[in-house]
Amino acid sequence: MNNNESQSNKDAEKDLAANEDRQEKEERYAYDNDEQRDDSLKEENAAIEKELEAEAGGALPEDANEEIRAVSGEGRNEAPKSGANKAWIAVSAVLAVLLVVVLIKPPFGGTNEAVATVNGVEITKDKLYSKLVEAGGPQTLENVITEELINQEAKANNVTVTDADVDAEIELIKKNFGDDETFNSTLAQYGMTLESLRNDTKINLTIRKILEPKTEVTDEEIQQFYDENKETLGTPEQIQASHILVATKEEAEAILAELKQGGDFAAIAKEKSTDPGSKDNGGDLGFFGKGKMVPEFEEAAFALKVNELSGVVQSEHGFHIIKKTAEKAAVVPTLEEKKEEIRNQLVASEANGLSEAWLTEIRDKAKITNTLSPETTEEPAAGDDAAATDAAE
């Protein structure tokens, strides 16, 4: 049985939104420098943006001020909204392509090694490297500069993000996608790897840890968040059901009659069901909540008593016979049970809100030399030279 895709992955969107925000902020620095490039590079950047918008199903988010596990929406106490995860992955995918530049060859020294031939004419690695630099080198370098600034600030503040921290965050993201297959296919869709996601996550966690001491979350804010989101913090009502899916109403009616005469549901499902995802398990679909199945199936399944058979139920997939096998009541946690989790969410959200101004501040203090875009070379503000020197040591 196929699940209703329109209801999936709210928590995953919340988890990925912070990484999207960091990528957007790094892109913003690069964008400031784009205005000084030639017209051809501007057109190329516009084409990339258009492609991203097409992938994301609309305009890319411009102000996704969210953090991993943080609240989203216009206010800090709103529940998460959909639409962030794939757009962020699309942005990251383009950055991953641009970073191929540094894998082709180092910035010094040349090579005439051929990477392709066209009718016997060689295309050298040098030529490929030059084209990659023209296409995205300056923008990619801006992102690398920003990452180095963040790492220097982490060192200065004795902030460390361990592999265990990253592992925990990645597992949370994977869990909230529902299953590994959905998670991996989303990464693959945008040409990303688990390793590139780990790198983005580590940078995002570093920013969060640096800025968390500057945040302040009150008990009143925690109470407000709990009151407004208690339903989503808990576990909704769930049922477990099995089904037999066939192509025609006549087949379904014949099977229903057989079941009413004492036929074994699991055995008949294995023999006659056309649902490849459940037939080998005797039709068992496991536990699911509302919004996970097509409406006709959901309505019929939730209306049953435990161990009761449905009549013939028609959906877009065919004709079902459903048997409800177990149920779990909704669980709403207490404030005390969720207080620390809510505090962490609000702290992360507040830290993320500070990050844009913080990134601007550390960039203004830094001495930056950029040979790909000399016009962006920056001297630190007066009085900041010593601080920049200390951070680099």
CA–CA distance from 346 to each of 70, 75, 147, 156, 218 (Å)?
6, 11, 25, 25, 10
Using the predicted structure, report yes or no on whether residue 284 has a pLDDT greater than 50.
yes
pLDDT category at 34 given cuts 50, 70, 90 is: very low
Using the predicted structure, report yes or no on whether residue 243 has a pLDDT greater than 70.
yes
Using the predicted structure, report yes or no on whether residue 359 has a pLDDT greater than 80.
yes
Residue 379, pLDDT score: 64
Residue 226, pLDDT score: 93
Q: Which of 28-42, 201-215, 319-333, 337-351 has the lowest mean pLDDT?
A: 28-42
Q: Which of 66-75, 137-146, 294-303 has the lowest mean pLDDT?
A: 66-75
Transcribe 227-260 into DSSP letters: HHHHHHHSB--EEEEEEEEESSHHHHHHHHHHHH
Residue 378, pLDDT score: 62
Cα torsion 145, 53, 62, 76 to 10°: value is -110
Residue 380, pLDDT score: 65
Using the predicted structure, report yes or no on whether residue 176 has a pLDDT greater than 60.
yes
113 or 53, higher pLDDT: 113
pLDDT category at 244 given cuts 50, 70, 90 is: very high
- DSSP state letter for 318: E
Closest CA to 229 of 338, 328, 330, 336: 338
- For 247, counting Cβ atoms within 10 Å of its Cβ (0-12 exposed, 13-18 middle, 19+ buried), the class is exposed
pLDDT category at 233 given cuts 50, 70, 90 is: confident
Residue 188, pLDDT score: 87
Using the predicted structure, report yes or no on whether residue 291 has a pLDDT greater than 80.
yes
Q: Name all domains of the chain by residue range, CATH numbers in brackets.
A: 5-231+334-392 (no CATH), 238-328 (3.10.50.40)
Kindly state the percentage of the chain with pLDDT values over 90.
34
Average pLDDT of span 131-137: 75
Average pLDDT of span 37-57: 45
Average pLDDT of span 305-323: 96
165 or 98, higher pLDDT: 165
Q: Which of 48-52, 310-314, 375-379 has the lowest mean pLDDT?
A: 48-52
Using the predicted structure, report yes or no on whether residue 241 has a pLDDT greater than 50.
yes
Residue 137, pLDDT score: 73
What value does the mean pLDDT of the chain take?
74
299 or 235, higher pLDDT: 299
Sign, CA torsion 157/158/161/164: negative
Using the predicted structure, report yes or no on whether residue 73 has a pLDDT greater than 80.
no
pLDDT category at 255 given cuts 50, 70, 90 is: very high
Please name the residue that has the structure tokens 């490297």. 129
pLDDT category at 276 given cuts 50, 70, 90 is: very high
Average pLDDT of span 32-52: 45
Q: Are 130 and 110 in contact (CB under 8 A)?
A: no
Average pLDDT of span 132-158: 83
Cα 255 to chain centroid distance, Å, stands at 43
Residue 174, pLDDT score: 81
Helix (H, G, I), strand (E, B) or coil at 207: helix
Question: How far is residue 201's CA from residue 363's CA, in Å, rounded to a whole number?
Answer: 21
Q: Which of 79-83, 199-203, 357-361 has the lowest mean pLDDT?
A: 79-83
Side-chain half-sphere CA neighbours of 127 within 13 A? 10
| Tokens coding 204 | 């995002």
Using the predicted structure, report yes or no on whether residue 301 has a pLDDT greater than 90.
yes
Question: How far is residue 287's CA from residue 290's CA, in Å, rounded to a whole number?
Answer: 10
Question: How far is residue 137's CA from residue 134's CA, in Å, rounded to a whole number?
Answer: 6
Using the predicted structure, report yes or no on whether residue 330 has a pLDDT greater than 50.
yes
Transcribe 133-188 into DSSP letters: HHHHHHHHHHHHHHHHHHHHHHHHTT----HHHHHHHHHHHHHHTSSHHHHHHHHH
Residue 18, pLDDT score: 47
Using the predicted structure, report yes or no on whether residue 273 has a pLDDT greater than 50.
yes
| Tokens coding 298 | 């959901």
pLDDT (tens digit, 9 = 90+) per residue, 108-117?
Answer: 455 678 878 8
